[in-house]
């Protein structure tokens, strides 16, 4: 298995992967496709195994008003046949070591038990607009003390439906 930046030729494979990892949901594939169509500054990596894209991770800008205040980790997915074999952990640990990721505040809306393994901590500030009471909102290197609602790229709202804490139903 090798980890590499997402290339244009592998984009369609990523959309298919997201549909299979989030069955019944078009949201994640639609979100990433809109990022690409709109040329958004997204950091993306994939795991390739026997020429197939078996995992994907993306980071997009987090905003305090018009200012970038960090990165949102979303979405992340592993192909169903390869889940629970360490692939997701390897991809996330790889991404967290990359230059453009390792010094920035990071935010993720997800299952706390999963993300705490990677040193994410529960986040009380800023406020996540997609989560009640920030119950599933975590961060890393975040020193926010002021009260504001963290911004997402507009594609998060214009894709099919608002995000829910990822993977919540399975844990």
Q: Which of 30, 43, 69, 88 binds ligand COA (CB under 6 A)?
A: 88
Provide the minimum distance between the beta carbon of 90 and ligand COA in the complex, in angstroms, as a whole number.
7
Q: Does 29 bind ligand COA (CB under 6 A)?
A: no
Number of residues in contact with ligand COA under rule CB under 6 A: 19
Q: Does 164 bind ligand COA (CB under 6 A)?
A: no
In this structure, what DSSP letter does residue 10 have?
G
Q: Which of 2, 84, 132, 147 binds ligand COA (CB under 6 A)?
A: 84
Radius of gyration of the chain (CA): 15
What is the distance between the alpha carbons of residues 145 and 143, in angstroms, rounded to a whole number? 6
Q: Which of 78, 106, 123, 159 binds ligand COA (CB under 6 A)?
A: 78
The answer to whether the CB of 71 falls within 8 A of the CB of 23 is no
The angle subtended at Cα 83 by Cα 91 and Cα 96, nearest 5°, is: 15
Q: Does 107 bind ligand COA (CB under 6 A)?
A: no
Neighbours of 29 (CB within 10 A): 23
Task: Pick between residue 68 and residue 162 the one whose CB is nearest to ligand COA.
Answer: 162
Residue 138's SS3 state is strand
| Binding positions for ligand COA, rule: CB under 6 A | 21-22, 76-78, 83-89, 110-111, 114, 166-167, 170-171
């Amino acid at each position: 298995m090798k980890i590499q930046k997402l290339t244009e030729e592998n984009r369609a494979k990523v959309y298919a992967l997201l549909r299979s990892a989030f069955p019944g949901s078009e949201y994640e594939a639609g979100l990433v496709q809109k990022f690409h169509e709109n040329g958004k500054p997204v950091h993306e990596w994939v795991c390739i195994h026997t020429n197939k894209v078996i995992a994907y991770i993306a980071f997009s800008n987090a905003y305090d008003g018009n200012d970038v205040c960090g990165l949102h980790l979303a979405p992340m997915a592993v192909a169903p046949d390869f889940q629970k074999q360490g692939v997701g952990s390897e991809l996330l640990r790889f991404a967290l070591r990359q230059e453009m990721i390792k010094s920035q505040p990071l935010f993720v809306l997800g299952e706390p038990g999963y993300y705490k393994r990677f040193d994410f901590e529960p986040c009380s500030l800023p406020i996540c607009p997609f989560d009640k009471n920030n119950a599933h909102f975590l961060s890393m290197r975040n020193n926010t003390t002021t009260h504001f609602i963290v911004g997402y790229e507009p594609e998060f709202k214009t894709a099919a439906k608002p995000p829910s804490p990822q993977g919540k139903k399975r844990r």
